[in-house]
Copies of this chain bind each other. A is one copy, B any other.
Amino acid sequence: MKINDNFEKLPENYLFAEVARRLAEYRRNHPDAEVIRMDIGDVTRPLPEAAIKAMHEAVDEMASSATFHGYGPEQGYSFLRDAIAQWDYADRGIAIKADEIFISDGAKSDLGNLGDIYSDDSVVAVADPGYPVYVDTAVMSGRGGILENGRWSKIVYLDCNEGNGFRPLPPCRHADVVILCSPNNPTGVAYSREELKRWVDYARKEKALIIFDSAYEAYEYGSEFPRSIYEIEGAEEVAIEVRSYSKTAGFTGMRCGYTVVPRKVSGFDGNGNSIELRKLWNRRQSTKFNGASYIVQRGAAALYTPEGMRELRATIEYYLENARLIRDTLIGLGYTVFGGEYSPYVWVKARTGESSWDMFTHLLENKHISCTPGIGFGESGDGYIRLTGFNTRENTLKAMKRFSEL
């Protein structure tokens, strides 16, 4: 049996696994060091009480024949799709129908699996630095080409740097699929309405698809930044939006997210015919997926109750306050810092021209703080690290104290 050769092209280690490995090694050699983890983007706050209550009820339903739930719809239950359509869209003036919303076991799965519906020779454009899953999944499907100097020959890289404020605008080159994340992981910066409009215009002109990863949109609450790509006129014709309950409601271990594929978004087939992508995604999900867990969907739906929304907002405020503490401390210490205002991520430039991994080692050894090296998110990320606000307040304050003692 011949393997998919594309797998061999991928570097062996996934970024976070490599960070974990180095961290474990350090801990083994320094068992007394109290390392504060500011690397992984994992949440620490408990789930909202509304979700806990709903999930207990759902578990109880599974204990009795009369209320038992077997297979659910592959696309998700109406109770959740309707709540999303109402509260994440209609309530914000966006016309997305429930049947354009597909519930999944999380944004990571969807971001990887969406590649199934477009042609293997599609040219994919990604921000550099960006979430590694975008590039890795493209490479797995043969959309990478050859790796040279840390970059794949077939992928269009959208360079993010101080010059463009880490918000790259459309390139001159054509791309078939553009993956955007706002507020971005790892840089924490968000696109303005005008900037997103330029991306939508680009997609319309190039007949490209935008995959808009808005896993962190809840952190833009109260800001002027668009929280959905569909706030931009015309986006409903060119964009798929991927969302997650992981970073907003603490669902990283629960596994639930959703993807919006509006009816008007289409691609074209080999004969040039226009094909509704919603139908393809529906077919993909119906065939290779069997719906998200009923219990978890009940938990997610409870987030749309008044109590759920209140608790969710409190959690987000908590993490945002951590991010602001990090941002303010580092700015005070003379660092160049991005993000951390409407995002849980703070993107920090090394002061001494160090590489990302050097800074990682330096922080780990001298401050017992673990961070994520920017290079792990792409070549343009070198010389930067990502710190996250997903810790406890106590640990965040303790880590900032260690920074200040430099």
A interface residue numbers (CB < 8 A to B)? 1-5, 7-8, 10, 14, 17, 40, 42-47, 49, 52, 55-56, 59-60, 62-65, 68-72, 105-106, 108-109, 112-113, 116-122, 133, 136-137, 140, 176-177, 207-209, 250, 252-255, 267-270, 275, 277, 280, 283-284, 286-296, 392
Contacts and interface: CB of A to CB of B under 8 A. Distances in A.
A8 B56 CA distance: 42
A177 B1 CA distance: 7
A46 B64 contact: yes
Contacts of A294: 253-254
A112 B286 CA distance: 11
A301 to B, nearest CB: 15
Contact of A63 (B52, B140, B280): B52
A71 B10 CA distance: 23
A7 B49 CA distance: 42
Contact of A289 (B8, B112, B267, B296): B112
B287 A119 contact: no
Contact of A3 (B2, B52, B280, B392): B280
A238 to B, nearest CB: 9
A62 B26 CA distance: 29
Contact of A7 (B7, B68, B283, B392): B283
8 shortest interchain CB distances as A-B pairs:
A112-B288, A42-B70, A2-B119, A3-B267, A1-B209, A253-B294, A69-B253, A70-B252
A59 B62 contact: no
A78 to B, nearest CB: 15
A11 to B, nearest CB: 10
A118 B120 CA distance: 15
Contact of A8 (B10, B269, B296): B269
A294 B253 CA distance: 6
B71 A45 contact: no
Contacts of A277: 3
Given A176-B1, A208-B1, A283-B10, A253 B59 contact: no
A215 to B, nearest CB: 12
